[in-house]
Structure 1
Amino acid sequence: MNIDDSMIKSYLMGKDDSKYHWLFSSILDSGEYIFESPNSEYRENVRELYIRMYEALMDFTPYNVELFSTLFHSWKDLINDVNIILSVGCPAPYDAMVREHDGREYIIFDLIRFLSYGKTGDDLLPMIIRLITHEITHICIHVDYPVATDTYEKN
């Protein structure tokens, strides 16, 4: 996995430079710029969640791995090329999503949105693995079962 954690690291160091990231103009289809300035009081909770999430991503195994492997034979190869952005600043309800930028798909996880679930540490791990499985499924579907655009162009 290609994990971009620069927003998290910037936030943890008290910097506010993440608001200029392309992500915040891609959340809505209208291209409207949406950024919710993260509160500094969440830093320690975000730090703990970041460590746990990074470990879960680096050692990722989807839930229902047997079924997942049946549906997506090459998922283990695909996850090597998956782009993940760990962010802060996405407005509710954008906790997890897939967005395209410059022809590449990115899975985005907003850690402050995850904190809004009222759980911390190990309590969040099952949910995180479910969300990662869900978002990786989107990527696998796009790769293994692409939309046949030529069918629509002929009509």
Structure 2
Amino acid sequence: MANYRSPRPCKKLDWLHPKYTVTKIISSHVVELDVRGSIYPRFHVDLLRRAHQDPAPGQKVDDAQPPAIQDETGEDLWDVDEILCARWKKRGRGQFRQALVRWTGYAEPTWEPVEWLQGTIAMKAFEDKYGPIKTNDGPRERYEALTGTREPRRRRPGRRGEGG
């Protein structure tokens, strides 16, 4: 819920986390919520978001995530299922290499630094199939299908003085 004052000392994330139920639909643009005391209960629908645990109709929910495995030192470890593709990511003036990783037991793949994946079976399988991860991105269609976006191809810089 946006545009509401919180009694807490830091209101930065308060509007993201409260979960209210719609008690009455006033019109197509206004709903009434079950809010506490002095807050006016009617809100425009643009100020509201669907709760994360309340999916849209037909949306598949897979929140069951396995706990992290702990090694003998007590450090958390996660099981890498597969490395899907890789990319260069800009940070400041430099770039670093990221890999799109599918984790065992998790629904969504995440982008992780390549350095974190060194020595894994998934890294070896990726490099056996596509070559060194520092120079090969892997299949582009996988990236586009999973993220829904297409990264632009980098153009080769032209030389000055060359005309057409």
Pick the structure with more helix per residue. 1
User: Normalized against structure 1, the TM-score is what?
Assistant: 0.23
Larger relative CO (CA 8 A, sep 6+): 1 or 2? 1
User: Normalized against structure 2, the TM-score is what?
Assistant: 0.22
